[in-house]
A and B are shown apart, each in its own frame.
Chain A
Amino acid sequence: SAVISQKPSRDICQRGTSLTIQCQVDSQVTMMFWYRQQPGQSLTLIATANQGSEATYESGFVIDKFPISRPNLTFSTLTVSNMSPEDSSIYLCSVDAGGRETQYFGPGTRLLVL
């Protein structure tokens, strides 16, 4: 397994502003994933981030709105840009386990946009 931390754990932001969420893993991993979980809902994949390459975004998510960085094998950031109340969600970072299918999740970042 992997130990994953996220910062911030929660935030309240004003519409029109941007927030960068950090994800740190205690070991080197190939794949890092960013998910959005709206209140009471399931997990929706935003993008997959590999070190050294551009992130791959899922349908409905674009780089201008959710830019992602992956500078090394233990760290990634997700920025939620030009926020609106519809962006209020839990944002989760996850990692693969040694290149296999198993994913391990961070504790999440709870975002409220006013």
Chain B
Amino acid sequence: GENVEQHPSTLSVQEGDSAVIKCTYSDSASNYFPWYKQELGKGPQLIIDIRSNVGEKKDQRIAVTLNKTAKHFSLHITETQPEDSAVYFCAASYTGGFKTIFGAGTRLFVKA
């Protein structure tokens, strides 16, 4: 069945450094890839997404890249801040499928 693998499971960086989280999906029909940030005690919040007709998308300190051939997509956070500390989930779905497959999550710690 469909699967999304996410690495690393835990990531610790110094404030100001960059953080990269990588995901791989299995279903070649997937064409929509959202990223969610979940802070302690809260629900997941959409932070950025990318569709398969685009290779890269950026929003301030956050960027996402997509390699359709390799079925890889990655989240890049630059100039990390303590408030970036959270669990990040990647996901994959396809138009009309209405089923989103989530990665296992990455717990990001940003040390001040």
| A interface residues (Cβ-Cβ under 8 A, vs B) | 1, 4, 31, 41-43, 45, 48, 92, 96, 101-108, 110
5 A-B residue contacts at CB 8 Å? A48-B98, A101-B34, A103-B46, A105-B45, A108-B42
Q: Which residues of B contact A96 (CB under 8 A)?
A: 98
Bits for B34-77, please: 1 = Cβ < 8 Å to A, else 0.
Answer: 10100001111110010000000000000000000000000000
Taking A31-B98, A42-B104, A45-B99 as contacts, is the C-beta distance between A101 and B93 under 8 angstroms? yes
Q: Does B109 contact A (CB under 8 A)?
A: no
Q: Scan residues 68-112 of chain B and give those whose CB is less than 8 A from a CB of chain A.
A: 89, 93-95, 97-100, 102-105
- Chain B contact patch, size range: 20 to 34
- When chains A and B are docked, how far (Å) is the Cα of A1 from the Cα of B44? 13
Number of A-B contacts (CB under 8 A): 46
Question: Which chain B residues have a beta carbon within 8 Å of chain A's beta carbons?
Answer: 32, 34, 36, 41-46, 49, 89, 93-95, 97-100, 102-105
Q: How far is the CA of A108 from the CA of B34 in the complex (A)?
A: 19
Closest 3 CB pairs of A and B: A105-B43, A101-B32, A107-B43
| A1 to chain B: closest residue by CB | B46
Contact in complex: A43, B46 (CB < 8 Å): no
Q: Which of B32, B89, B97 contacts A43 (CB 8 A)?
A: B89
Shortest CB distance A70–B (Å): 14
Q: Chain B nearest CB: distance from A98 CB in Å?
A: 13
Known contacts A43-B44, A43-B89, A45-B99: A101-B94 contact under CB 8 Å: yes
A residues in contact with B102, CB < 8 Å: 42-43
**Additional A-B contact list (18), CB under 8 Å, known A101-B98, A103-B46, A105-B36:** A1-B46, A41-B105, A42-B89, A42-B103, A43-B44, A43-B89, A45-B99, A92-B43, A101-B32, A101-B34, A102-B46, A102-B49, A103-B34, A103-B100, A105-B43, A105-B44, A107-B42, A107-B43
